[in-house]
Structure 1
Amino acid sequence: MTPAELRAFCLGFNAAVEEFPFGPETAVFKVHGKLFALSALDAEPLKVNLKCEPENAVRLRAAHEGVVPGWHMNKRHWNTVTAGGPGAVPDALVRELVEDSYDLVVAGLPRAERLRLDRP
């Protein structure tokens, strides 16, 4: 996966926005003000921090060398996923994990906001 593909995929979700609160090198993707993906898009290899259910996070780390506890994040709820370069997780799995992260964040939003996103 390329940085442009990752950016386009993250911004393809309803109400997703890209911000740079930590400086120009770190893209933060949010939905209704809540972070669902974070990546230094110019870094080699390309990595992205994604929210994950704790049980699934442990399973993914055991199954893929490109999935490790979230860097600078709550290690129980976040994974750092290698999305490009050596040791990269397959693109299809990266897309699935990004969507899972988005869905987890949306699930924590107030009901009215979820309904506006067509995700009850």
Structure 2
Amino acid sequence: MNIETLREYVLQKPNVTEGFPFGPDVIVFKVNDKVFLLVPLDTEQLQFNAKCDPDHAIELREQYDAVQPGYHMNKKHWNTVVVDGTIKNNQLLELVDESYDLVSKKKASK
């Protein structure tokens, strides 16, 4: 997977916007004005920060070296995922979907 594939996938979701509130090196994707995905552009390998259910986050970190506690994020709820080929593309997209669903549902329930 590359950055354009990821970006195209994310932008087709309802109510998603992208921006650069932290400067030109990080794309921030929001749903209903809430962040659900951050993609740094200054790394050698593609990676992203995605929100995750806390129990699932722990499982993923135990299962994959490419999944680490979220860099500069709440480590309980966010993972940093390095796209290094050890996680299949469809699984990566499922992590994006989970993050999107968690954030979009949180807004809807208020």
- For Structure 1 versus Structure 2, the TM-score category normalised by the shorter chain is over 0.9
| Equivalent of residue 102 in structure 1, options 90, 100, 103 | 100
Whichever of the two has the greater Rg, that structure is 1
| Equivalent of residue 91 in structure 2, options 93, 102, 108 | 93
After superposition, give the CA deviation of every residue in 1:68-111 in whole Å (9 maximum; x if it has no partner): 0000000000000112xx45422111100000000000110135
Q: Is the 8 A contact 1:52 1:101 kept in 2?
A: yes
Q: Which runs of 4+ in 1 moved over 4 A?
A: none
Aligned length: 110
Normalised TM-score (structure 1): 0.86
Normalised TM-score (structure 2): 0.93
Structure 1: 5+ residue runs without aligned partners? 113-120
Structure 2: 5+ residue runs without aligned partners? none
Kindly tell me: are residues 88 and 28 of structure 1, through their superposed partners in 2, closer, same or farther at Cα, counting changes over 3 Å?
Answer: farther
Shift of 1:43: 2.3
Superposed CA RMSD in Å reads 1.5
The one-letter code sitting in structure 1 at the alignment partner of 2:61 is R
Distance 2:68 2:85 in 1: 12
The one-letter code sitting in structure 1 at the alignment partner of 2:99 is S
The one-letter code sitting in structure 1 at the alignment partner of 2:56 is N
Residue identity (%): 45
Q: Which residue of 2 aligns with 1:115?
A: none
